[in-house]
Amino acid sequence: MVESLQLALAIAAKDLRAELRSRTSFLSAAMFAALLLVVFNFARDPTAVATIDLAPGILWVTVAFAAVVAMNRGFAVERENHAFDGLLLAPVSREVLFLGKYLANLTFVLLVEVIALPLFVLFFNVDLSQALPGLLVTLLLATAGLVSVGTLFSAIVVRTRFAELMLPVLLLPFMVPPLVFAVQITMRLLTGRALSEVAGGLRLLVLYDVAFITVSLLLFSAVVDE
């Protein structure tokens, strides 16, 4: 059990190291998130609609799109290097392999969010003094779920011709429930409600995570094995 975890972490570390060495995809994803926030800012009329009404939605749409862009990473690289095929030949259990890729993706997307969140606070004048812990938990939970589906679907679309287009097409419907739950929670947090009021939404996020991390894990071997 511990060995498997260590193995998964090793796979994740290798994946991330290769990624961060080039830094291209990370910078692209982070810039994309920043640009989205800027565009959203100009797309609204602050005198007509209160920021607080739009802010949660804007934050989570940005997170969702940045996550998709982030998970699109490395398709070209993987295909060129056949790195993934090499991993498949190794006597590694498919579940461990999934876990490794999942952790790498999760770390990557969370790093992008770390960039996006301060920008969000800056552009939209959001007061996070009370809401920060709750918001961080929500970000973690929502991202954990999104990335599990994204990791599975990445493995599916990498064999198709238009992988970068196919991933969002398949992934976006799966992103809607965590987005809806997260927006609801964020709305409550930003308007200063007690943590007990967001318990329901958090429970839904956890439910989504448990369901999809499990199913993605189980289906991964069907995807990568002939």
Shorter beta-carbon distance to other proteins: residue 82 or 159: 159
Looking at the Cβ atoms of 134 and 177, the one nearer to other proteins is: 177
Q: Of 192, 209, 190, 82, give the one whose Cα is nearest residue 150.
A: 209
Nearer to other proteins by Cβ, of 26 and 75: the residue is 75
In one letter, which amino acid is 131? A
Q: How far is the CB of 71 from other proteins (least distance, A)?
A: 15
Shortest Å distance, C-beta 138 to other proteins: 15
Q: Which is nearer to other proteins, 199 or 215 (CB)?
A: 215
Give the CA angle between residues 6, 9, 14 to the nearest 5°: 125
* Phi-psi label, residue 125: left if phi above 0, alpha if psi -120 to 50, beta otherwise: left
CB of 61 to other proteins, least distance (A): 15
> CB of residue 165 vs other proteins: minimum separation in angstroms?
9
- Of the two residues 62 and 184, which places its CB atom closer to other proteins in the complex? 184
Q: Which residues bind other proteins (CB under 8 A)?
A: 149, 152-153, 156-157, 159-162, 166, 169-170, 172-174, 176-177, 180-181, 184, 201, 204, 208, 211-212, 215-216, 219, 222-223, 226
Nearer to other proteins, 122 or 210 (CB): 210
In the complex, least distance from residue 187 CB atom to other proteins, rounded to whole angstroms? 8
Identity of the amino acid at 158: V
Task: Using the CB atoms, write b or e for 88-111: b if 16+ within 10 Å.
Answer: eeeebebebbbbbbbbbbbbbbbb
Smallest distance from other proteins to CB 14, Å: 25
Q: By C-alpha distance, which of 112, 22, 23 is closest to 63? A: 112
- Collect contacts of 24-29 with beta carbons under 8 A, ≥24 apart: 25/70, 25/72, 25/73, 25/74, 26/70, 26/108, 26/111, 26/112, 28/69, 29/66, 29/69, 29/70, 29/73, 29/108, 29/109, 29/112
